[in-house]
Chain A
Amino acid sequence: MSLILVQILNGLQYGLLLFLAASGLTLVFGILGVINLAHGSFYMIGAYMALTLTSYTGDIFLALAAGIPLAFLIGMAIEWLFVRHLYKRDHLQQVLLTFALILVFNEAQQSIWGNYPKSIPMPSYLSSSISLTPELGYSVYRLALMAICVGLALLMMFVIQKTRVGRLIRAAESNPEMVEALGFDSRVLFRVVFAAGAALAAAAGMLAAPVESAYPGIGERVLIISFVVVVIGGIGSIRGAFLGSLLIGLADAFGKVFVPKFSSVLIYALMALVLVLRPNGLFGRS
């Protein structure tokens, strides 16, 4: 029984972290219509920024305060240099360009930080573990991470549903020409959305860094699972990404322990099932 409760906790914890990584992808995909394969690279950049910035500031949260604006600026620059030329083009060209970006980012990572896995220290006040069962402890940092992810999820939903910027974003998603006609520069809006997506992915990478560490190829792993989340949740839907992430997290945690033979295909089977029942994802519009 206690194993089941622990697995629920594990599943929720993994799912919340996934949500943070995937939410940026669903925004960019849904509003800009761009398949951004380089999304995982922003996660990777976040992890390595955490490494460097923590070594200067001594604390992951101070590193986060400096790293998120930095990632936002990098996102703006990438949008201005490359991505804005893709909005009117087909998906194949988007995939080609953003795949090239992955290669460039990976090469940069290798030459700046090297090939060996690097560890990012947890803040000392969160580095202890509490006991869940007599045998098993749980990292306090992981629990704090869950709280932060829930906070960020609520904040995002608030911004999108209740604020002026959020209304504009939703309007631009459904009818960009109309937004332009009303006197808003959708180019600026798109740049902000793309940069926000990059900043979210980097934030996920930074927050996860003390438990995940930083090593080459860390971004690609996140990219694939993020796409699964986006497809399950429905493209462009933050609520869908939230639910999809939790579903995948739980399926993963229970799958590994109770049906280990099928754990590698379980999340994809889940995705297929969702697509059969709701071809546009849980909260996707047709």
Chain B
Amino acid sequence: MMDRRRILTLAGATGASTLAMPFVRPSWAQTGAIRVGLLLPYSGTYAALGEAITNAMQLYVTQQGGKLGGRAIEFVKVDDESAPPKATENTTKLVSGEKVDVLCGTVHSGVAMAMAKIARENGLPTLVPNAGAEAITRAMCAPNIFRTSFGNSQVGDATGMAMLKAGVKKAVTVTWKYSAGAESVAGFKKSFLKGGGEVIKDITLPFPDVEFQSILAEVASLKPDAVYSFFAGGGALKFMKDYHAAKLNEKVALWGAGFLTDGVEKAAGAAGDGVKTALHYVDSLDNAENKKFIADYTAAFKKAPDVYAVQGWDSMQLLRVGLEAAGGDVKKRNEMFGAMAKAEFKSPRGPFKLGTSHNPIQNFYLRELRNGENKYLGVAAEMLADDTTGCKMA
């Protein structure tokens, strides 16, 4: 039981917003902090991504005075280990155990699918700050699920356009044999084949195998103009280094979805020189939000932000829009979701808005890695939307 005095203190703690609106009586639910459950990888291959997303979220909320929509924000973290078999259990831990008000996750598409299934059933406000699995904003789309990152095929689509523009005619695709890789390659083919390009062969290797030597030998024997690749993290770093050591880069240009270089720019060193990618962010973007974001993030965490941090940042921007529209009451779901679906704001990545299936419509930028930095070469695709095939908002 909560006595009168405690309720008064809590109401006082929520501060100015309550006082500024004297005729809006705060409901009981509005007095405590909003609990945002973070289902993210804090260990394993994707730990760096989970860390960047979390950092940016905390930075945004701190800059807003610890509150969004007048309500204090409290983060509850669960390490999802990027393990799909544990995904249902970990999501339930947040939803039923911790009784979070908002669900936010994750990086691994397999884990995100399991999370989205639960989120669809109970209608909890849900933000997806990375996982690109198409189904989340296609067949499994829902009024309460919002993605602030990208669809896997969206990135491939944009890269394919850039490759055509660069004069690539014959390509080989290389990726891990898992759904994100397959969707990325399908997106690439969508624009590349339509524009008259030819894909000689699709090469896959088991996830997360990093023995690339035999595959590089095969690429060399096929003699394409370019390779389209989808890798991320430590595997991406090794792929670029092996590609360079095999001297393939001298004959066959290496292209990829931007995740190939992000987070490993410096580590790739000379091996990364000339690798071209497309992505919805590049740190040298010339806009005020980006400059401030980079300066603040670097000051707070002593390292530069990356695309994952931008996605985390924007998921809190989106949550803010929703909470402000609902007056800080997560139970007012119609108001909250309605405002979020229509949200348009300035992001470090450029203009941000959502399509009908709640996937971002955004610019994709062509970048080239040189001396450990991604150089901005221009826009690869302007305000590109992902397909909404199979999405029926209930």
Contacts and interface: CB of A to CB of B under 8 A. Distances in A.
A13 B266 CA distance: 27
Interface stretch (A3-11, A67-75, A178-186): A3-11
A213 B220 contact: no
B226 interface: no
Majority secondary structure of chain B interface residues (helix, strand, loop or mixed): helix
A228 to B, nearest CB: 14
B48 A3 contact: no
B186 to A, nearest CB: 18
B270 to A, nearest CB: 9
A14 B205 CA distance: 15
A106 interface: yes
Contacts of A253: 211, 213-214
A256 B215 contact: yes
B241 A138 contact: no
Interface residues of B, number: 43
B263 to A, nearest CB: 6
Given A6-B217, A110-B43, A117 B205 contact: no
Nearest to B244: A129
Contacts of A212: 210, 238
B15 interface: no
A139 B246 contact: yes
A117 B246 contact: no
A135 B251 contact: yes
Contacts of A142: 245
A13 B220 contact: no
Interface in A245-270: 252-254, 256-257, 260, 263-264
B217 A216 contact: no
A10 B214 contact: yes
Interface string B215-252: 11110110100000000011011100110011110011
Given A116-B267, A133-B220, A213 B238 contact: yes
A256 B203 CA distance: 9
A129 B247 contact: yes
Interface in B46-78: 47-48, 51
A58 interface: no
B177 interface: yes
Contacts of B208: 221
A121 B268 CA distance: 10
Nearest to B45: A217
B234 A211 contact: no
Interface in B174-213: 177, 203-206, 208-211, 213
Given A106-B43, A211-B245, A260-B205, A252 B214 contact: yes
Interface string A219-257: 001000000000000000000000000000000111011
| Best-surrounded residue of A6, A136, A141 (most CB of chain B within 10 A) | A136
Given A138-B246, A139-B245, A117 B237 contact: yes
Nearest to B263: A116
B264 interface: yes
B44 interface: yes
B191 to A, nearest CB: 25
Interface residues of A, number: 44
Contacts of A118: 267
Interface string B283-298: 0000000000000000
A135 B210 contact: no
A184 to B, nearest CB: 42
B374 to A, nearest CB: 15
A218 to B, nearest CB: 7
Residue among A114, A117, A217, A221 with max Cβ neighbours from chain B (10 Å)? A117
Nearest to A18: B211
Contact of B213 (A10, A135, A263): A10
A215 interface: yes
Nearest to B247: A137
Given A257-B215, A257-B218, A263-B206, A136 B237 contact: no
Contacts of B234: 117, 213, 215-218
Given A10-B214, A253-B213, A256-B215, A117 B267 contact: yes
Contacts of B247: 129, 131, 136-137
Interface of B: 43-45, 47-48, 51, 177, 203-206, 208-211, 213-218, 220-221, 223, 233-234, 236-238, 241-242, 245-248, 251-252, 263-264, 266-269
Minimum-distance CB pairs A-B, first 9: A137-B247, A215-B234, A264-B206, A115-B48, A119-B267, A135-B220, A136-B220, A139-B245, A115-B47
19 contacts: A6-B217, A13-B213, A115-B48, A116-B264, A117-B48, A119-B264, A131-B247, A138-B245, A139-B246, A211-B241, A211-B242, A211-B245, A213-B238, A252-B214, A256-B205, A256-B214, A256-B215, A260-B204, A264-B209
Given A116-B263, A260-B204, 6 more contacts: A14-B211, A116-B48, A129-B245, A131-B247, A133-B220, A217-B44
